[in-house]
């Protein structure tokens, strides 16, 4: 990853679905905007150039692990260059929900070589701050909406044999993702937020950490 030279800040949320990332970042966005900061929310699979192709390929189940990796990296690259970099240059605070760490973890689980995956994303900008919303697996699964629980063929890991149906595959896949997040948290020094605590308590830590970053 590349350390960016821009006046804006790139703040990232990682963690399982159902761990409260979206809720916390929505609250953080409101707080930052009240304080006068320009904020840009972002997430994976938002590239106008590639995202629709991803949706079609998933619907037709034409993605194998290597094309899954490459097409998501292409989506991220387009999003980075067309949206994230210009926003950072303009001084925005970019709140990115699930950055490359999620993509890397999913590529690992699909059997890709770790060095190859890291090289694939070496163009990515290094975040100024990464929050890891750490939730026990069962808690995260309980909090997921019905839509999240009915993840598609790829998002539940059924394409790589994680289970005979979406629900069972999702549970096994999320368990392995949790292991990957824990490993990356140690490697990349994520700021761990206990997602089992009330949102109000989580926000105290998040806001204090962000305020310290913005005041540097």
Per-residue pLDDT tens digits for 117-140? 999 999 999 999 999 999 999 888
Both tokens of 192, joined, read: 């761990």
Residue 49, pLDDT > 90, answer: no
Residue 14, pLDDT > 60, answer: yes
Give the mean pLDDT of 38-49. Answer: 90
Give the mean pLDDT of 155-167. Answer: 83
| Contact partners, residue 132, CB within 8 Å, separation at least 6 | 14, 15, 181, 185, 190, 191, 192, 193
Q: What is the per-residue pLDDT for 145?
A: 67
pLDDT > 90: percent of the chain? 75
CA distances from 2 to 113, 119, 144, 189, 211 (A): 21, 12, 34, 16, 23
Task: Report whether 174 contacts 16 (CB < 8 A).
Answer: yes
Residue 147, pLDDT > 90, answer: no
Q: What is the per-residue pLDDT for 148?
A: 64
**How would residue 45 be classed by pLDDT, with cut points 50, 70 and 90?**
confident
Q: What is the per-residue pLDDT for 164?
A: 79
Residue 52, pLDDT > 60, answer: yes
d(CA 67, CA 57): 10
**How would residue 19 be classed by pLDDT, with cut points 50, 70 and 90?**
very high
**How would residue 166 be classed by pLDDT, with cut points 50, 70 and 90?**
confident
Task: Report whether 125 contacts 39 (CB < 8 A).
Answer: no
**How would residue 156 be classed by pLDDT, with cut points 50, 70 and 90?**
confident
Domains, the chain, ordered by start = 2-214 (3.40.50.300)
Both tokens of 113, joined, read: 């070589």
**How would residue 163 be classed by pLDDT, with cut points 50, 70 and 90?**
confident
d(CA 67, CA 58): 11
Burial label for 67, CB within 10 Å (0-12, 13-18, 19+), is exposed
Mean pLDDT of the chain: 93
Q: What is the per-residue pLDDT for 149?
A: 59
């Amino acid at each position: 990853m590349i350390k960016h030279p821009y006046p804006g800040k790139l703040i990232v949320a990682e963690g399982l679905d159902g761990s409260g990332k979206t809720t916390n970042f929505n609250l953080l966005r409101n707080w930052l905007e009240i304080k006068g900061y320009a904020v840009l929310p972002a997430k994976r699979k938002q590239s106008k150039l590639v995202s629709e192709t991803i949706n079609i390929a998933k619907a037709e189940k034409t993605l194998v692990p290597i094309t899954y990796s490459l097409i998501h990296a292409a989506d991220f690259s387009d999003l980075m260059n067309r949206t994230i970099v210009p926003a950072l240059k303009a001084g925005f605070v970019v709140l990115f929900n699930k950055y490359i760490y999620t993509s890397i973890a999913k590529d690992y689980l699909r059997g890709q070589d770790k060095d190859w995956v890291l090289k694939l994303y070496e163009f990515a900008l290094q975040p100024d701050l990464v929050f890891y919303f750490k939730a026990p697996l069962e808690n995260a699964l309980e909090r997921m909406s019905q839509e999240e629980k009915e993840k598609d063929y790829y998002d539940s890991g059924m394409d790589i044999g994680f289970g005979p149906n979406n629900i069972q595959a999702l549970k096994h896949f999320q368990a392995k993702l949790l292991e990957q997040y824990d490993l990356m948290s140690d490697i990349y020094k994520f700021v761990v937020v206990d997602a089992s605590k009330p949102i109000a308590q989580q926000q105290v830590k998040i806001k204090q950490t962000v305020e310290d970053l913005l005041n540097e």
